[in-house]
Structure 1
Amino acid sequence: MNIAELVRSRHTCKAYDAQRPLSEEQLAQLQEILRYSPSSVNSQPWHFFLVTSEAGKDKLVPALTEHNMEKVRSAPLTVVIATKTELDDDHLQALLAQEDLDGRFGGNEEAKKGADGARRYYVGLNSTSAQKQQEWMARQAYIALGFLLMGAATLDLDATPIEGFFPEKLDAALGLTELGLKSVVVASVGYGSEQDFNAALPKSRLPAEQVLTRL
């Protein structure tokens, strides 16, 4: 696979074929792409809601802007990327315990203590206010979104990043506040239909010399 060719060929899908579902293998791969997305100091401040059922779509649609409703209705998968409302001590402890379980410290308690201290230091730098912490966590969510978009392309799937929604409505529809979460961004994934006009349009980007500098 040539990654440069892939980024030139993928596009933001504008209409989906509702008759083409995703396979369980495709869903499993997309789940792993999301779960293994990188985050600053491995903070993983997120939760991913994978919506495939009609009941799930019924919850999402009223929280979307009108031009995104049909995309979610017809796409076989919509992912809601949410972040924690607060990066608290319980989460930091859970991260450290999982890293220990996964063998990242090799039984070295000093290494474990050092990793915990370093993460808490950088979390603190980005948590001087609740708003700053939310913005920092949102940036991690967008890293996962990027991985999802490219991951979908590697599976010959189309995708659409969606910011056209009402966060308060979406949070209420999914009960996110009670879970200590808040919605950040949404993406639909599936197979484009014949009505996807964007598929036939040439991709347009600024010239390389305007956006790239090699030093």
Structure 2
Amino acid sequence: MKKLITFLAIGLVAAMVAACSSAEENVYKIIEDAASEENAFEKQQKPMNKLESDEKALFDEIMELGMKEFDQIQKLSDEALSNLDEREKLIKKESEALEKSKEEFQKAKTELDKIKDEKLKADAQQLAEVMDARYSAYDTLNSAYLTGISEDKKIYELLKDEELSMEKLEEQIEISNSAYEKVREANDTFNDKTEEFNEKKLDFYDKAGFDITTDSEE
């Protein structure tokens, strides 16, 4: 459900081409330190995708069962609820990693004002604005995803009720689907801001006189 793009991993081999000021160097270091803080964020993506896939399989299996197999429906619903609990734990780790990245990136704000070249300073300030928008987009995504999980839990709690009507189930499934549509929209915004930041970051590095070699170029 959640396909996230993270910081561009540059495989940092950077050298100064000319005499860059310490302000540019400090901004560069802070940005890359912030990127390093997102390593824990990236580690959550693979297990999260697996949990999402597993939960979908459980839901599909439940939908294929008739009410005569209610005991099995209850068992699978409990498995799905446990799955959702695990996803909440991963989301918490993910959020904590982004918060650490945000805290690190805030240090760059002070250094930006020390850049002497006004055009480069303007580029750096624009870079910071995009990054702030990226963090804000993640907050929206995180909130939307937690809402989606909450609505999914309601589905599985309903499925454990032997007197459940199909109308009530369909109503809750529709609410859940609507919640995940907001997740998709928020995810697209986050990814767009991440791509924009990565592009502007490399452009800033180039203008600041850093010779960057990526892993793919080695």
**Structure whose CA Rg is larger:** 2
Q: TM-score, normalised by structure 2?
A: 0.25
More strand by share: 1
More helix by share: 2
Q: TM-score, normalised by structure 1?
A: 0.26
